[in-house]
Amino acid sequence: MNDSLWTPTRDSAAARAFMATLRLHSASWEWAEQAEQARWWVLDARAIADLPALLECYGRMPVKPRVAFLAAQLSALPCPAWTFFKPPVQSGLIFNWIRPHIASAAVPPDAAPDHAHPPWRHGLMRLRRWPNVSRYGNALELTVACSRLLTAPASYEQVLQWNVPAPLLDQLLADTHRQGLLLLEQGTAPAPVSLDAPDAPAVQASGERSRWDLIKRLLGKFART
């Protein structure tokens, strides 16, 4: 299977090193000439000429690419759906980032094992303790989901609404279930809070800022351990 790769920063040393590591993986990579044609983006924060234009392009794409954002500090990350990497990046972190997406795309649905109805898709689930989230590429949405599942139960469908990529979520739940970290419960998940009131934009913006601050604190905690 070919995986399309695009970067506007081919001449940066950090991007070249990152992509050289990607080529060590067994996946077959091909260059995309346009950002909209690529399944993977590699962005060096220090070499990007027009970051707002990239964010606008990403926002209008119906199928979002996986984005590796290379920067010295987490605070430079402009989009929580992108994955932060601090150069020089270890090859293991890069492989952990691409592995679940490569594997999920490489196996046709009818050839995959019969895991269409795993136990965590029925009822509620929660985590006993923190899993090793770094093995999944430091996806911010996954970190937020784990913090929520540590404090309150939720259904599989509800976690998907937290913008967690389905392949990552499935891998996390399979791993934590196998390790005995996932508690399965019966019941109905709490209804999500509606943001359809006239003052919703302000409430939502405040909530996003609070969640973003929480994400940064969580990742800072794991970076020190």
Residue 22 — very low, low, confident or very high, per pLDDT cuts 50/70/90? confident
CATH homologous superfamily of 2-110 equals: Response regulator (3.40.50.2300)
Q: What CATH fold (topology level) applies to the domain 116-225?
A: Arc Repressor Mutant, subunit A (1.10.10)
Q: Which of the given ranges, 62-66, 100-104, 136-140, 182-186, has the highest pLDDT on average?
A: 62-66
- Return the ∠ at Cα 201 (arms to 195 and 204), rounded to 5°: 60
- Flag whether pLDDT at 143 surpasses 90: no
In whole angstroms, give the CA distance from residue 44 to residue 21: 15
Q: What is the pLDDT of residues 69-91, one digit of tens each?
A: 999 998 899 998 899 998 888 88
Phi, psi of 125 (to 5 degrees): -145, 155
> Rounded mean pLDDT of 14-29?
77
- Pair of tokens at residue 90: 């270890």
* Within this chain, domains 2-110 and 116-225 share the same CATH topology: no
Domain assignments of the chain as residue spans, ordered by start: 2-110, 116-225
